[in-house]
Homo-oligomer: A and B are copies of this chain.
Amino acid sequence: MKKNTKEEIVDSAVLLFNTYGTSSVSTNHIAEESGVSIGNLYYYFKNKEEIIREILECMISDWDHIWVAPSNGDILDGLQTIIRQSFHLEWKYRFFYRELIALMRIDEQLQQRHQEIEKQRIEEQKKLIENLINSGVIRNLRSPSDIDSLLTISWLISNYWLSFLESDGQEITDEQVERGVQLILTVFKPYLAI
């Protein structure tokens, strides 16, 4: 489990960002935390923004692993698993979700990359829902725009459930994560075949 210098820097940055927020953490802090000299840090990263961009790439890679996982067995079960793992990733990189819009406003490159993969992800989710409709798990939807609405709502929940808990001052526990999963199912409940 030997980490190289670059990984060491990224890991320390995530730790500090999660704890103190990006604006309170300087490159000097990151260097100190990771036990790497300032000079060496700047050998690997041009600036703080580039570190954050690298963290985004780590997130993307983590996400890919979740979606690649084959959902053998119950299709609804597979969906729940994906949602659950998504919540865990959001927690791992929580600083990013807390400050998302602010970060993207500062760094346009970050914005473009994030929006690019976000678009992909929505498409994937759309396909998954269509799958559920085709296999008869979901029915009784009145119009195609209803699908869009449902999709948007479940997206909102999966992306902001942890933020809501945090801003409400609640602890993030496994039970809370489970509540989030169930919340998404609540939205679909009226349209689920028993």
Contact = CB atoms under 8 A, between A and B. Distances in A.
Interface in A150-188: 150, 152-153, 155-157, 159-161, 163-164, 166-169, 182-183, 186-187
A46 interface: no
A75 interface: no
Contact of A163 (B118, B160, B183, B190): B160
Number of identical monomers bound together in the oligomeric complex: 2
Tell which of A156, A161, A163, A183 has the most Cβ of chain B within 10 Å. A156
B106 A167 contact: no
A130 interface: no
A102 B97 CA distance: 10
A167 B112 CA distance: 10
A99 interface: yes
A77 to B, nearest CB: 20
Contact of A186 (B21, B99, B149): B149
A74 interface: no
Given A20-B105, A22-B23, A115-B169, 6 more contacts: A22-B102, A98-B100, A99-B99, A114-B167, A156-B156, A156-B157
22 contacts: A21-B102, A21-B106, A23-B102, A95-B102, A98-B99, A100-B167, A101-B163, A101-B167, A111-B169, A115-B169, A118-B168, A146-B186, A150-B186, A153-B153, A153-B157, A153-B186, A156-B156, A156-B160, A156-B161, A156-B164, A160-B163, A190-B191
Interface of A: 20-24, 95, 98-102, 104-106, 111, 114-115, 118, 146, 149-150, 152-153, 155-157, 159-161, 163-164, 166-169, 182-183, 186-187, 190-191
